[in-house]
A and B are shown apart, each in its own frame.
Chain A
Amino acid sequence: MTLDRTTTTLAVAAVLLLAAAPFLPQWLVFLLTLALAKGLVVLGLVVLMRTGLVSFGQGLYFGLGAYAAALVGAAAEVLDAAVMLAAAVAGSAGLAAVLGLLLARYRDIFFAMLSLAFSMILYGLLVKSSALGSTDGFNLHAKSFAGITLPAGAERRVFYAVAVVAVLGAAWAVHRYLSSHYGRLATAIRDNELRVEYLGSSVFRVVFANYVIAGALGGLGGAFAALAVGHVDPETAYWTTSGEFVFVAILGGTGNVLAPFLGAAIFEAVRTVANQYAPNVWQMTLGIVMLALILFLPAGLWSLVARLRSVAR
């Protein structure tokens, strides 16, 4: 009955996070919002991975979402977070629908590298556009949400709460999607595309759909990150950012829709602690932790949670 479990865990987690919102210290609110934002991108990656495809270019949508949100503020001078989020999702889903037509025909490393190429082309364009501040990027500041003006200083907490709700919705929807026929079909495609075609289903359509879902979630994550940070820059589209998402996906585990968020939160926490307490060797610390996790938790962090549950049962 994992469905009930996951859904209930999801609900409980969301309620707890919302209840905590007013009391958490600002740095934790920020850390969690960022973790939720990146978790959304990884969630999309997990959907894609069900079909056996790993994208090293999700930074494309993360960056696009961030810039879409920021541009709504800077260019259109709409300072409403809801509009920014909508613009980000629309923009990235749109681009994904175009690129998907091409990318859905690619597999394995070629899919990975072609998506990487596209993300790096966006990176290049952003770096070239001095109007957008080139590599320095520019700041954004949303002052209202869905028309409701936010009290100065409280914005971050509101964005955090919105992120929690958005994650709840997205994770639940993805969970339903993946435990439906289409989830199983995705796995079938990963195992044997030929047979899927011979059963009368279009592999292309499924891959395409999952790619667009991943793109939209990537854009949403990017927008939340931009709202939390208050600044966008091309780094968001750089290949190392994309690589980080893939790592978090593996770190968390691809078995459960909650795993990406656990993975993202732990990753952010480890990196922050390493940077604050081992500023000279934080990369090494991070690397060693990564290796240890890959070695000792082959199924990802979520396998721990799963183990705890089975013990509890």
Chain B
Amino acid sequence: MKRALCQFVAAAFAALLAAAAGAQQPVKVGIVTFLSGPAAGPFGVPARNAAEIIAESINAGRVPAPYATKGLGGAPMELVIIDEAGGPQKQVAEFRNLAQRVDLVIGYISSGDCLAIAPVAEELKKLTILFDCGTPRIFEDASYKYVFRTGPHATMDNVSAARYVLERRPNIRSIAGINQNYAWGQDSWTDFEAAMKALKPGIEIKTSQMTKLFAGQFGAEISTLLSSGADVIHSSFWGGDLEGLVLQGAPRGLFKSHLVVLSAGEPAINRLGTKIPDGTIIGARGPFGPFAPDTEFNRWFRNVFQERYGVPPNYASYKMTNAMLGLKAAYEKAQKAGAASPNQDQIITAFENLTYEGVGGTVKMTLGKGHQAVMDVAVGTAKTVDGELRIVDVKRYPAGEVNPPDGVKSEAWIRSGMKAK
């Protein structure tokens, strides 16, 4: 009976491998991102869209310099896209299957998935580029050869937010938080709280609301925040929760009576537009979206994306793009080093400590022994100007000021006062 089962499964995958074996030249890239569930809308699908249009443009050689060459040094990219939904256990299973079908994997938005996948990628010796997940633990608790992360980790989001707040309002006395009750929300609050304490000793914490993920309704939480009397309210909400918080908070004056910081607020701009009250401080987890410098490269990216999908790219789209550009840069650097069609190890060598031009700014693979990217980060303030939401008073923080030096753990670095390198 078991044997019958093995045959069944084996057959299924034999078919799959045959299908994969068809083309030899193209570089098969597995893309893992949320196609279903609450994270699909704000992150997963914008990232997939970026992957598709960037792959096309790269293959057609339509990307502006320095990426104008066709494909990866001539070899076209071929995408295999799967859904990230279902939790780490399922993702490990899917990764092990995907690894059979592709030459490398770009993916993972959820930190839990990243933590689970990294050692498996190492075990299978499969080049894997994490593009979005935030937790610094990946390269702070371990080191990997086959795993890279081209997206900066989450520490800088809240460090920069804290700096921005205190530069604007040096004499605030108290803060409160409303964050989702899971690792992302907890870590974000811990970082913000620690950063505020380090930058302004003696600051008072009024309340830290931890809401069930995707609870959607925050009546009681908003009441508590309103009566907490805190000067600043920090939230790392995203997706439906974030939009719900704005929809339910704004009419009740939450944003009038407090300075609200949305450390991951950028994706909501496209969704909510002018519903976001003036004066709200918004972060984009990097120099992305409206925070990106107005370069020709950036304009090109925004235009092709807007044309194809009818909405501007958000930070998830930017980060996916940077992952693919990083791959192209590393691949072609390896070629220049003398390998006509570089093998995995040569690509990895080229990738380590690589510095390349991404959308939104320069990406430096300086942390995690050259496997973890840092970028500048920008924070701004929402303001509706003649019926359209603008991000004004944008402050750009150099990577060095908001990221720990290599080998130092984020938490310790924040508590010790965030000394720049």
Contacts and interface: CB of A to CB of B under 8 A. Distances in A.
Interface of A: 9, 13, 16-17, 20, 24-28, 30-32, 34, 127-128, 130, 133-139, 141, 153, 156, 225, 229-231, 233, 235-236, 238, 258, 261-262, 265-266, 268-269, 271-273, 275-277, 279-280, 282-283, 305
Interface stretch (B68-76, B81-89, B282-290, B394-402): B81-89
Nearest to A36: B2
A280 B83 contact: yes
Given A31-B9, A231-B119, A236-B89, 20 more contacts: A17-B2, A28-B6, A34-B89, A127-B181, A134-B182, A134-B187, A136-B111, A137-B115, A141-B119, A230-B116, A230-B119, A231-B115, A233-B87, A235-B89, A273-B12, A275-B83, A276-B94, A280-B83, A282-B36, A283-B36
B271 interface: no
Given A134-B182, A235-B89, A282-B83, A230 B13 contact: no
Contacts of A269: 5, 8-9, 12
Contact of B116 (A24, A233, A258, A277): A233
Given A26-B124, A139-B116, A139-B119, A279 B89 contact: no
Given A138-B115, A139-B116, A231 B88 contact: yes
Given A230-B119, A279-B35, A25 B112 contact: no
Given A230-B119, A230-B120, A235 B88 contact: yes
B1 interface: yes
B137 A231 contact: no
A220 to B, nearest CB: 16
Contacts of A139: 115-116, 119, 142
A311 to B, nearest CB: 14
Interface string B4-44: 01101110110010000000000000000001100000000
Contacts of A133: 115, 137, 183
Contacts, number: 136
B99 A137 contact: no
A16 to B, nearest CB: 5
Interface residues on B, range: 35 or more
A275 B112 contact: no
B212 to A, nearest CB: 9
Interface string B56-97: 000000000000000000000000011100111110111011
A276 B13 CA distance: 10
A30 B119 CA distance: 14
B210 to A, nearest CB: 8
Contacts of A275: 82-83, 86, 90, 94
A16 B116 contact: no
B136 to A, nearest CB: 11
A248 to B, nearest CB: 14
B135 interface: yes
B100 interface: yes
Contacts of B186: 130, 134
Nearest to A139: B119
Nearest to A20: B6
24 contacts: A13-B1, A26-B96, A27-B13, A27-B93, A27-B100, A28-B6, A34-B89, A34-B93, A133-B115, A134-B183, A135-B183, A137-B88, A137-B112, A137-B115, A139-B115, A230-B92, A230-B116, A231-B115, A231-B119, A265-B5, A269-B12, A275-B83, A276-B16, A280-B36
Contacts of A262: 1, 5
A127 B182 contact: yes
Contacts of B90: 271, 275
Contact of A153 (B97, B123, B184): B123
Contact of A305 (B1, B35, B183): B1
A113 to B, nearest CB: 19
B349 interface: no
Nearest to A133: B183
Nearest to A226: B89
B310 to A, nearest CB: 19
Nearest to B115: A136
B3 interface: yes
Contacts of B181: 127-128
B329 interface: no
A27 B186 CA distance: 34
A236 B88 CA distance: 10
A148 B311 CA distance: 58
A24 B3 CA distance: 12
A20 to B, nearest CB: 7
B190 interface: yes
Contacts of A13: 1-3
